[in-house]
Amino acid sequence: MTLEGKTVLIGITGGIAAYKICELIRKFQKSGAATRVVCTPNAMNFVTKLTLQNLSRNQVYVDEFDVKEWKPEHISLADESDIMVIAPATANTISKIANGIADNLLTSIACAFSKQMIFAPAMNCNMWNNSAVQDNITKLKSKGYEFLEPETGFLACGYSGKGRLCSIDKIYDSVVENLKYSKLLEGKKVVVTSGGTIEDIDPVRYISNYSSGKMGLAIARSAKKMGAETVLITTKDVEAPFKVVKVKSALQMQKALDDEFETSDIIIMAAAVADYRVKNYSNQKLKKTSEDELVLELIKNPDILQTLCSRNKGGNKIIAGFCAESENLLENAKEKISKKGCDFLIANDISRHDIGFSSEYNEVTILDKNGGMKMFEKNSKDVIAREILEYIIKK
């Protein structure tokens, strides 16, 4: 993909892997991108300003108040760039940005940067595993920042472990991917459901399922990256750079979907909604008795997917459901898409232990109402999420 007309801002921090970023700059220049480089003062201990200027064909920024124009550099560089990459990202810089500290030019730009930012960390393995550093990484991820995790191998400090900067190709590809998909859903509202609903028996016990909510969250993240106004309706505790509606039961999920339905363009039902709920909820904890059996009377929950599809009379909304099956995957999926009346149905095999519930990976087959079908082979849920949205947009 050519990056003509795009401006990539590269932040280099004080780590031994700083010298590798010279190759990353060269790749961006070759692709046609305008490349700006900002360094922390400590980065200058590992790579020279002259080298970076020659490779980027631009001024290299280090000092915070070295202002040549009327515009403050930390604002102008943020405004004029389409994406920002911090590589290598040290534990120090990651932690500063996570906590809103802006004590040098790079961290000040990061504080003002409102577009996609990618971190490629590199550090000693013990620093990477430090709980405070991991907490800060989790905090940044929850706000939509992307992390390209370090690789495991021999480190410059003499240790062997996880901490090596990931490949330059991986960083480059991630930037290209983010720029390529940034506008596909601009102007659209995408509503995604995730997680397994909880149906209370009494104040202590409930009926639920093994859904982790990871697939729905990945779809919501991808929709946001593609420029959509994104709403995630979930049973899980999630911090995200888009609207999150926390629900518990199937009835609560239905109510939340009703509230978002009219203004939505695309609805993707990735949640595992309980088919039944307890008919007679007990306000007090049920006590164990001398009986060997306890009988719970269950009643059907509303079929939320089918109800939404029946409301979509004009067909002006795209509605997609999920189908989790342990056998006869495609046969059951074809029957379900016909019965529910949705535009798309994503089928995944929950009998496999390497994908699906709680896994970071998935493999799905997407069916459409016109008989089309496409399989997406095993990959990370983030990649599968992007592929699902691309397929829906294309169709």
- Give tens-digit pLDDT for 76-124: 888 899 999 999 999 999 999 999 999 999 999 999 998 899 999 999 9
- Mapped onto helix, strand or coil, the DSSP state of residue 129 is helix
**Owner of token pair 């109402």:** 369
Residues 6+ apart with CB under 8 A from 292: none
Average pLDDT along the chain: 93
Q: How far is CA 167 from the centre of its chain?
A: 21
List 22, 111, 125, 157, catalytic entry: 157
Confidence of residue 67 (pLDDT cuts 50, 70, 90): low
Q: What would the pLDDT profile of 221-273 be if each residue is shown by its tens digit?
A: 999 989 999 999 999 999 888 999 999 999 999 999 999 999 999 999 999 99
What is d(CA 363, CA 379) in angstroms, rounded to the nearest whole number? 7
Q: What would the pLDDT profile of 328-351 be if each residue is shown by its tens digit?
A: 999 999 999 999 999 999 999 988
Q: Which of 347, 372, 374 is nearest to 362 (CA)?
A: 347
Average pLDDT over every residue of 131-147: 92
| Predicted pLDDT at 177 | 87
The percent of residues in the chain predicted with pLDDT above 90, rounded, is 81
Domains of the chain: 7-180 (3.40.50.1950), 189-394 (3.40.50.10300)
Residue 70 has pLDDT above 60, yes or no: no
Confidence of residue 181 (pLDDT cuts 50, 70, 90): confident
330 token code pair: 């495609």
| Predicted pLDDT at 157 | 86
- Judge contact between 234 and 197, C-beta under 8 A: no
What is d(CA 78, CA 131) in angstroms, rounded to the nearest whole number? 30
Residues 6+ apart with CB under 8 A from 61: 36, 37, 38, 39, 73, 77, 105
Average pLDDT over every residue of 364-388: 94
Residue 305 has pLDDT above 80, yes or no: yes
What is d(CA 282, CA 321) in angstroms, rounded to the nearest whole number? 32
State how far the alpha carbon of 378 is from the alpha carbons of 166, 195, 343, 361, 363, in Å.
22, 21, 23, 7, 4
Alpha-carbon torsion angle 127, 131, 132, 135, nearest 10: 120
Residues, the chain, total?
Answer: 395
Q: What would the pLDDT profile of 8-42 be if each residue is shown by its tens digit?
A: 999 999 999 999 999 999 999 999 999 999 999 99
Q: How far is CA 316 from the centre of its chain?
A: 27
- Mapped onto helix, strand or coil, the DSSP state of residue 153 is strand
State how far the alpha carbon of 70 is from the alpha carbons of 65, 90, 279, in Å.
11, 31, 69
More confident residue, 178 or 64: 178
More confident residue, 374 or 71: 374
Q: What are phi and psi of 320, to 5 degrees?
A: -125, 140
Alpha helix stretches (DSSP H) within the chain = 21-31, 49-56, 73-80, 91-98, 105-112, 125-129, 131-142, 168-180, 214-225, 250-261, 304-311, 329-340, 381-394
- Judge contact between 106 and 40, C-beta under 8 A: yes
Helices 105-112 and 73-80 pack at an angle, to 10 degrees, of: 50
Q: What would the pLDDT profile of 41-65 be if each residue is shown by its tens digit?
A: 999 999 999 999 999 999 999 986 6
Helices 168-180 and 21-31 pack at an angle, to 10 degrees, of: 40
Residues 6+ apart with CB under 8 A from 7: 33, 34, 35, 36, 80, 81, 82
More confident residue, 197 or 357: 197
> Catalytic: 22?
no
Cα angle at 38 between 37 and 42, to 5 degrees?
A: 125
| Predicted pLDDT at 65 | 63
Q: Which of 351, 378, 349 is nearest to 363 (CA)?
A: 378
The percent of residues in the chain predicted with pLDDT above 70, rounded, is 97
202 token code pair: 């009494």
30 token code pair: 């070759």
Q: Which residues of 270-295 are buried (b: 16+ CB within 10 A; e: fewer)?
A: bbbbbeebbeeeeeeeeeeeeeeeee
Lowest mean pLDDT among 60-74, 203-217, 336-350: 60-74
| Predicted pLDDT at 75 | 83
| Predicted pLDDT at 1 | 64
Confidence of residue 73 (pLDDT cuts 50, 70, 90): low
Specify the pTM: 0.81
| Predicted pLDDT at 249 | 98
Residue 69 has pLDDT above 70, yes or no: no
| Predicted pLDDT at 71 | 58
